């Protein structure tokens, strides 16, 4: 709903847990742990946020793989092979899950391993709402906004976005051999 001061959106029964430390409102979803299989695009907002912020593996929830070259992220080849500054909603992974995901995850059509020494909290992914003349809210889905943006008052976040800094492309097969020779 629209805030009483008309300066953004809020929940009618909002609690402090509905916003992150930057004051951004987060989507609520029925919590059903253990239901179904891991499905990256529809990861639960609260879980995605925690896993991304704490650099846990997005599949198993253990600490993600970290070496001198940084945290391991699985990306799809984008043709340019430039991942420095790439923004991603996909949290990092551990090596064991990376090996499984590159073989079985349908969303990774052409996987590339990117290690980032500094995955920086960048902003959020979600829905922007605009108020209509009749004081209703019109949703605009699938937007990225950086923290600090004024439009965040009208934003409902569902994914935390990190920017990959100080990146190195790694040879996944070599890394997998180290855990499973």
Residues found near Zn ion in the complex (CB under 5 A): 57, 59-60, 94, 97
For the residues of the chain, what is the DSSP string, one character each?
A: -B-TTSSSB--TT--GGGB-TT--EE------TT-S---GGG--HHHHHHHHHHTB-TTT-SBPPEETTEEEEEEE--SS---TT-EESS----HHHHHHHHHH-TT-SSEEEEEEEEEEEEEEEEEEEEE-TTS-EEEEEEEEEETT-GGGGGEEEEEEEEEEEEEEEE-HHHHHHHH--
Residue 57 Cβ vs Zn ion, minimum distance, rounded to whole Å: 3
Q: Which is nearer to Zn ion, 111 or 146 (CB)?
A: 111
Q: Which is nearer to Zn ion, 9 or 97 (CB)?
A: 97
Q: Which is nearer to Zn ion, 108 or 128 (CB)?
A: 108
Residue 59 Cβ vs Zn ion, minimum distance, rounded to whole Å: 5
Residue 65 Cβ vs Zn ion, minimum distance, rounded to whole Å: 8
Residue 77 Cβ vs Zn ion, minimum distance, rounded to whole Å: 22
Q: Which is nearer to Zn ion, 14 or 39 (CB)?
A: 39
């Amino acid at each position: 709903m629209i805030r009483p001061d008309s300066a953004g959106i809020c929940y009618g029964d909002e609690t402090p847990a509905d916003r992150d430390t930057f004051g951004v409102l987060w989507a609520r979803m029925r919590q059903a742990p253990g239901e179904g299989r891991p499905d990256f695009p529809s990861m639960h907002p609260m879980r995605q946020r925690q896993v991304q912020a704490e650099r846990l593996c997005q599949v198993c929830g253990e600490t993600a793989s970290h070496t001198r070259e940084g945290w391991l992220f699985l990306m799809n080849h984008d043709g340019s092979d430039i991942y420095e500054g790439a923004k991603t909603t996909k949290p990092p992974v551990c090596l064991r899950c990376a090996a499984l995901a590159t073989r079985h995850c349908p969303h990774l059509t052409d996987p590339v391993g990117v290690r980032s020494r500094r995955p920086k909290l960048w902003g959020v992914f979600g829905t922007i709402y605009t108020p209509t003349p009749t004081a209703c809210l019109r949703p605009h889905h699938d937007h990225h906004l950086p923290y600090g943006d004024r439009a965040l008052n009208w934003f409902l976040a569902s994914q935390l976005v990190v920017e990959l800094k100080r990146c190195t492309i790694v040879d996944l097969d070599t890394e997998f051999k180290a855990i499973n020779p």
